Amino acid sequence: MEKILVEKSPPLKGNVRISGAKNSALPLLAASLLGTEDIILEDVPALKDVEIMCEVLTSLGAKVEHLDRDVIKINSSNVDKYETSYELMSKMRASFLVMGPLLTRLGKTKNSLPGGCAIGTRPIDLHLKGFKALGATIDVDHGNISAYADKLVGDKIYLDFPSVGATENIMMAAVMADGDTIIDNAAMEPEIVDLSNFLNKLGADIKGAGTSTIRIKGVKHLGGARHQIIPDRIEAGTFMVAAAISGGDILVENVISNHIKPVIAKLKETGCTVIENGDSVRVIATKKLNAIDIKTLPYPGFPTDMQAQFMALMTICEGTSVAIETVFENRFMHVDELKRMGADIKIDGRSAIIQGVKNLAGAPVKASDLRAGAALVLAGLVSEGVTEIENIHHIDRGYDGIEDKFSKLGAKIYRKTF
Ligand code: EPU
């Protein structure tokens, strides 16, 4: 079994380059099933989730080739399979994003239903509502879900919640439908804009991505393109919090600071200095960190994917902080682990009340999901002794070279096989 060990570290200092965004790479890889010419994706992060998505594409008949560590070439001209295996689907929920592309490209798709996960039940009703509106028939049978349609026809779809995955899946299904599709109350995340830009390069006609109304004019055929994936705003935010929690000074490079406005604002509220300069952001920590409150919301609100890392920070802020989670119903699994390290946190429904403590103490802990794992690494940096993190496969799903990047900044972090 592999573990990550983190020792109390000096203030982190130096530069770190942020990788391409996991949550853009996954939908873009799925969308690559739609084009019939060569597609080249650049700045693809080297992550377990990306590997799984590449396996999914290969299993469907696509040719996937690594041209470099972070450059992938995909050719989907021979894609003819419409079923994904339970084995691949159960490894990663985002595999479900192939449903929209397969439905529009082949007229049918069959996948096993994604189960719940550590952060909540995560239904897919909104994805299906969109497919149905476009004219697909949906069948659920023995844990599998099939969607099929002789012809998809554009329609007006209102999402009850601006779900990122549903917006992406519906956009991908609608690009080759007959006529116009309008998605209202669409997710506005930067990853949606990246997907729209990519699909438009392939030949799609999508307008309005990044606003709550996306308009898609169906086209007959999509070709190929070269596309650079946007920087990972959550990885950037994680290193910004690392500067704050460790009392350090980090220049985070390859970021789009507009994508991380709430993270910048909240770090400033703690008292840190944050300097935005072109495609980099420098965070200089303050000696005394003020308590802050956060409330997670769909973009452009505070990202749920930064809640755990901020909670690690709040454990040592002076005073009482509050974190309210509104996006997922069960995303406080890191709380018990942080408490094992000496944090003072109480949960009341969707709120966590965090009373700042003077010191944390290293302990054996378990990562329950990707961001919870990142929070434990951050807490480990300022905990007396050693923090031993188990279940690090979660961390490897979303952080490209985490211990290398942290080590270069001066962190005492090691990966060990037991
Ligand atoms: N929801 C529904 N019905 C649906 C779809 C979603 O009720 O049909 C609910 C979910 O249960 C949840 C909320 O809507 O309570 C938000 O879910 P959303 O669909 O927006 O999330 P997602 O597409 O499943 C993506 C990211 C997550 C990130 C969320 C929110 C990817 C691959 N995953 O998930 O990333 O937390 O958006 O921003 O893009 C992570 O990177 O650690 C991560 C979990």
Ligand 1, atom 15: closest residue by C-alpha: 328
Sort residue 389 into left (φ over 0), alpha (ψ -120 to 50) or beta: beta
- The confidence band for 287, taking pLDDT boundaries of 50, 70 and 90, is confident
CB neighbour class for 246 (10 Å; exposed up to 12, middle 13-18, buried from 19):
buried
Taking residues 329-352, what's their average pLDDT? Answer: 96
- Mean pLDDT score, 268-290: 96
Arithmetic mean of pLDDT over the chain? 96
Query: Catalytic: 117?
Result: yes
Cα separation, 39 vs 416, whole angstroms = 37
Question: Do strands 180-184 and 320-324 pair parallel, antiparallel, or not at all (unpaired)?
Answer: unpaired
Average pLDDT over residues 179-192: 98
- Ligand 1 center from residue 123 Cα (angstroms): 9
Q: Is this structure's pTM higher than 0.85?
A: yes
The single-letter code of the amino acid at 303 is P
Q: Is there an atom of ligand 1 within 6 Å of 96 CB?
A: no
Q: Which residues of 209-235 are buried (b: 16+ CB within 10 A; e: fewer)?
A: bbeeebbbebeeebebbebbbbbbbbb
Q: Which one from 54, 117, 272, 317 is the annotated catalytic residue?
A: 117
Residue 343: pLDDT band with limits 50, 70, 90 = very high
pLDDT at position 114 over 80: no
Provide the phi-psi class of 155: left if phi over 0, else alpha when psi is between -120 and 50, else beta.
beta
Q: Place 303 in a pLDDT band, splitting at 50, 70 and 90.
A: very high
Centroid of ligand 1 to alpha carbon of 326 (angstroms): 12
Q: In 290-367, where does DSSP find H-type helix? A: 307-314, 334-340
The SS3 assignment for 388 reads strand
State both tokens at 175.
């690009």
In the chain, the amino acid numbered 176 is M
Place of tokens 């290193």: 239
Nearest of 324, 249, 321, 247 to residue 286 by alpha carbon: 247
CA distance 378 to 381: 5
Q: Is 43 in the pocket of ligand 1 (CB under 6 A)?
A: no
53's tokens: 């998505």
The predicted-structure confidence for 142-176, as pLDDT tens digits, reads as follows 888 999 999 999 999 999 999 999 999 999 999 99
Q: What confidence tier does 120 reach under pLDDT thresholds 50, 70, 90?
A: low
Which helix (DSSP H) or strand (DSSP E) does residue 133 occupy? helix 125-133
Work out the average pLDDT over 136-147: 91
Is the pLDDT at 255 greater than 80? The verdict is yes
CA 250 from centre of chain: 22
pLDDT at 21: 98
Tell me which residue has tokens 């500067």.
Answer: 243
Contact of 145 with 111, CB cutoff 8 Å:
yes
The closest-lying atom of ligand 1 relative to the alpha carbon of residue 124 is 8
pLDDT band (50, 70, 90) for residue 117: low
pLDDT tops 90 at residue 90: no
Predicted confidence at residue 258, as pLDDT, reads: 97
Cβ of 60 closer than 6 Å to ligand 1, yes or no, is no
The pLDDT assigned to 119 comes to 67
C-alpha dist (Å) from residue 82 to 28, 85, 107, 108, 263: 18, 10, 9, 6, 40
SS3 at position 401? coil
How much distance in Å is there from the Cα of 99 to the middle of ligand 1? 16
Residue 34 is predicted with a pLDDT of 98
Phi, psi of 67 (to 5 degrees): -85, -20
pLDDT at 116 over 60: no
Q: In angstroms, what is the span from residue 255 Cα to ligand 1's centroid?
A: 22
- Kindly write down the DSSP assignment for every residue of 56-124, as one continuous string: HHHHTT-EEEEEETTEEEEE-TT----B--HHHHHH-GGGGGGHHHHHHHHSEEEEEPP--BTTB----
For the cut 90, the answer to whether the pLDDT of residue 249 exceeds it is yes
